[in-house]
Amino acid sequence: MSPSRAVALIVDDSAVNRKVLARHLESLDIASCEAENGREALEVLRSGGSDVGVVLLDIVMPEMDGYETLAAIKAHETLRHLPVIMISGVEELDSVVRCIEMGATDYLPKPFDPAILGARIRASLAGKRLHDLEVESAARQAELLHTIELQKEELSRFLSPQVAALVSSPEGAQLLAGHRRLATSVFCDLRGFTPFSEAAEPEEVLGVLREYHKAMGELIVEHGGTLEHFAGDGMMVFFNDPVRQDDHVERAVRMSLAMRDRFEELAAEWSRRGYVLGFGVGIDTGYATLGRIGFEGRYDYGMVGTAVIVASRLSSAATAGQILLSPQSHEYVRDLVEAEGVGEINLKGFSRPIAPVNVLRARPAAASGAGVAVASGASRSDVTA
């Protein structure tokens, strides 16, 4: 809105004064409209029909005087930013002070000096324009943020929420580039899935997988795990990256217990349909390299390290219902869970056997010595790869 196209609303009960003022404004290339009193002025303003950029307001008027009008404008949600210039005789300065305290922008003394008139109206219009631009810019920014949120939401359908958030965070680039960190890896998959998928119809297999992924996905998110990938019935989840979690081992174990419980509910339903499936988990903790893995066109946010392989092998070694925890991981949560030894196991690719435990259940909170639990040390020993 350029000053030359702005409309000034003249509010004065004297037709003579309105005409004189309108004529002055015309010579300043400012269009005007008129109202006889405050009530009429508010009707004009609320109808929003005209492009009023400034109100020139007389004080003494019938029906609704300048004070009431000013108060109504300043109390109105959108009109309150409209500049209001009081028109007053020089002997009414006390009233002007009161009006300025009520939010009037300025005052115009009568008789009008064209130069002062022009300067004050232009200054008010510039202020109004600035305000309108700010409002517009804030609206545009809100729209932009909304778009970004939508994109993040869309992205998080494909990525784990942590990785989706990482992509749009300032430290994201550095984390994506690769870093070393202590992390806990969880592998889980189904027992009996291969024979099931051979025997069942593809629709049934997909139906079972969908239920399984949905249930497990909710638990991964609930426990703050980062889902690296799922392939068929297998899933790999890790903790303490990209979001730091001092209790990463505890989270991994609690998620696995929750998954096992949830799986049993699903399996009960499936067994009524004649599907016999079991659930096994392997967990290990160790230093690993984390970041972007893959090739141009297809990258994953992944974890590479011995802990990943050990967790995978333990998951394969677990029988239905077992959560096999490596000795390293077990150290962190010894006070938090009840576990049983399962003897030494030789893992493929490892020269020495390891002695994992099978997690039976979480200890009740009171008996666990809550708070002692999980060491981290992760923040001290981070190395950028």
Partner 1 sequence: MNLDGAPVLDDAVLDELRDATGGDEEFIVDLVETYATEGAANLDGILAAAAAGDPASIVRPAHTLKSSSASLGAMRLSAIARTIEEAGRAGVSDGLAADAELARSTWVETLEAFVAAGLRR
Contact residues: partner 1, CB under 8 A: 13-17, 19-20, 23-24, 27, 60-62, 89, 91, 110-111, 114
**Beta carbon nearer to partner 1, 21 or 237:** 21
Q: Which two tokens stand for residue 149?
A: 């949120």
Task: Please tell me the number of Cα atoms within 13 Å of 244 on its side-chain side.
Answer: 13
**Beta carbon nearer to partner 1, 112 or 287:** 112
Minimum distance of partner 1 from residue 111's CB (angstroms): 7
**CA-wise closest residue to 166 among 181, 150, 155:** 155
Minimum distance of partner 1 from residue 63's CB (angstroms): 10
**Beta carbon nearer to partner 1, 88 or 315:** 88
How far is residue 335 CA from its own chain's centroid? 36
Minimum distance of partner 1 from residue 91's CB (angstroms): 8
Nearest-angstrom CA–CA distance, 21 and 192: 91
Helix axis angle for 38-47 and 66-75, nearest 10°, is 20
Minimum distance of partner 1 from residue 129's CB (angstroms): 26
Query: Do residues 258 and 296 touch, judged by C-beta distance below 8 A?
Result: no
Q: Which two tokens stand for residue 379?
A: 């923040």
**Beta carbon nearer to partner 1, 63 or 136:** 63
153-180 in b/e burial notation, b at 16+ Cβ within 10 A? eeebeebbbbbbbbbeeeeeeebbeebb
Minimum distance of partner 1 from residue 97's CB (angstroms): 17
Minimum distance of partner 1 from residue 106's CB (angstroms): 19
**Beta carbon nearer to partner 1, 67 or 193:** 67
Backbone angles phi, psi at 106, to 5 degrees: -165, -175
Cα–Cα distances (Å) from 211 to 248, 252, 279, in that order, read 26, 21, 14
Minimum distance of partner 1 from residue 9's CB (angstroms): 18
Beta bridge partners of 340: 358
Nearest-angstrom CA–CA distance, 256 and 359: 9
**Beta carbon nearer to partner 1, 121 or 347:** 121
**Beta carbon nearer to partner 1, 36 or 233:** 36
How far is residue 164 CA from its own chain's centroid? 11
